[in-house]
Amino acid sequence: MVRLFKVIFLLILLVVGVSFSSWNSGSVELNYYFGTQQLPLSLSLVIAIAMGAAFGLLGSLGVIIRLKRQVMKLNKNLKSAEREASHLRNQSVKDH
């Protein structure tokens, strides 16, 4: 069922992308430091969105790594506490 929703979502996304591309087929001039380039407007927007996503990911990479490290440390502490609790339970049973 989830797979069907994914396929439907991708088809809708494809239709929206094709219609967006056809509505924005005009050409724009992209000026950058080393020259200029004529690109379709839709391609320019897709490139801008992709670059924004990439820069956003790079900007948050430090936080992601720090949180992953914290999760690993907490999991290690949890396993240690579980081993200690299991050991204490077994010791308590043996004493009675």
Q: How is the chain split into domains, by residue range?
A: 22-95
Q: Show the CA angle centred on residue 53, arms to residues 42 and 38, nearest 5°.
A: 30
Give mean pLDDT, residues 5-32.
85
Contact residues for 21 (Cβ-Cβ < 8 A; gap 6+): 40, 42
Share of the chain above pLDDT 90, in %: 43
pLDDT in the model for residue 47: 87
Residue owning tokens 């056809």: 22
Q: Do 41 and 28 meet the contact criterion of CB atoms below 8 Å apart?
A: yes
Using DSSP's 3-state secondary structure scheme, residue 31 falls into strand
Of 48-52, 65-69, 91-95, the least confident: 91-95
pTM (2 d.p.) = 0.57
